[in-house]
Amino acid sequence: MVTLLFAAAALAAPAPRPHAVPVAAPHIEVRVDSAQSRIIVTAGPFRLPAMDAHMDMSNMAPSEVMPFAWPVDGYLRGFNVRMRNAAGDSLPHEILHHLIGVNFDRRQLVYPAVERLFGWGAETEPVELPSSMGVPMHIGEKLGMYAMFHNETGKDIDAAYLEVTLLYTPSKDHDVLTVMPFYVDVNNHIGGVTTFDVPPGKSSHSYQFELPIAGRLVGIGGHIHDYGSSLELEDASTGKVLARLKARRDHDGHVEGVGRFIFGFNSDALRLQAHHPYRVVAEYDNPTTETFKDGGMGHINGAFVPDDDTAWPKLDLADPLVKRDIATLPIMSDMNAHLAGAASHGHKPNDAHAGSSAGNAGMRDMPMSDMPNMKADHGQHDPKTDSTRSPDHP
């Protein structure tokens, strides 16, 4: 039975702080189905004119950030996304290029930027963690999501709805292990671009980082573009490779996916220390003679279990980087474009992909659907991927 707890009109969150993203997105509805422990967020209608088939960012239709409040005390443990029409029938899933969910009330682990809580790309499968673990959430937490559409069905779609199903475990009476989104990019500039040029032959990009707190990674996945060959997580003090995710490539170097790696829990989990240098590396191998301008990207997402949840770095809204991150989310670019007297829509499709926000989602690529295999696997080579892990990590 579906309980209607929150409707668009009831969504006004507690008094918005001065920085807050303006609550301007129309037609967003949040329903809590407590019998099935799920939250269904519906946004729309979106009008999606037919676009031609070539996959170029200028052919994408970005949405604004659609704000909503998290409606229950509980742990987020999975999500699924579909596009549907007004009658409830599913539309081709390819029309949704990507979707990012943001938590404006929590900081990322590595970057002074707001949390990317979930994400969806064309290649993403439904995510579902066992009910014994999840991302802790509280009633009223300010979330938002934004999407990029790409309608190449050849027909205009007058009314498309985005339907996001979020699975949760109620806090009450449950002993749930806290897992948090982990995201680190080889070329992240908060509020700026994460892409880079891909020259012919082999090339590599890396980023050295430290964590403010210690914990363990239970699993990782990654995102890389065409001609990418692998993503690595290394100990930067020793150069030791802690995990390597290989890209699955076709004959021409087009990437079909990136391996996931499940470390496991407890002693199997990959322990990461606070204030210790680590490095993320993206390797590319471009078999053509062409340089692909802004063609590259590389990041690792994972599920991180902090040693001490209460030590999670606080979101500092006065931090210029945090401000910049929020200011460059799609709604703000849009508003700025309006203010600048830009053409009626002012959408700049490139922003959405080039911005720090594209593809940064925490739960995206979290290796959750593989979790049932974990006990048998014991952190060994994941049979579904070509990923490897160094056997004697610290």
Judged on CB neighbours under 10 Å (0-12, 13-18, 19+), 351 is buried
Q: Which residue minimizes CB distance to Cu ion?
A: 297
String marking each residue 308-347 x if it binds Cu ion according to CB under 5 A: ----------------------------------------
Q: Of 176 and 354, which CB lies nearer to Cu ion in the complex structure? A: 354
Q: Are strands 133-137 and 177-178 parallel, antiparallel or unpaired?
A: parallel
Least distance in angstroms from the C-beta of 276 to Cu ion:
28
Q: Of 97 and 246, which CB lies nearer to Cu ion in the complex structure? A: 97
Binding segment for Cu ion among 4-12, 282-290, 297-305, 329-337 (CB under 5 A)?
297-305
Q: Of 306 and 359, which CB lies nearer to Cu ion in the complex structure? A: 359
Token duo for residue 365: 């690529």
Least distance in angstroms from the C-beta of 299 to Cu ion:
8
Amino acid at 161: Y
Q: Are strands 228-235 and 278-286 parallel, antiparallel or unpaired?
A: antiparallel
Amino acid at 182: F
Pick from 297, 329, 352, 366 the residue near Cu ion by CB under 5 A: 297
Binding segment for Cu ion among 97-105, 112-120, 135-143, 292-300 (CB under 5 A)?
292-300
Least distance in angstroms from the C-beta of 202 to Cu ion:
20
Q: Of 256 and 308, which CB lies nearer to Cu ion in the complex structure? A: 256
Q: Is residue 274 a contact partner of residue 216, using CB atoms and an 8 Å limit?
A: no
Least distance in angstroms from the C-beta of 121 to Cu ion:
8
Residues numbered 350-379 forming contacts with Cu ion, rule: CB under 5 A? 359
CA dist 317 → 23, 254, 314 (Å): 18, 40, 9
Least distance in angstroms from the C-beta of 359 to Cu ion:
4
User: DSSP string covering 291-334, please?
Assistant: -EEEEE-EEEEEEEEES-GGGSPPP-TTSHHHHHHHHTSHHHHH
Token duo for residue 33: 């189905």
Residues that bind Cu ion (CB under 5 A): 297, 359
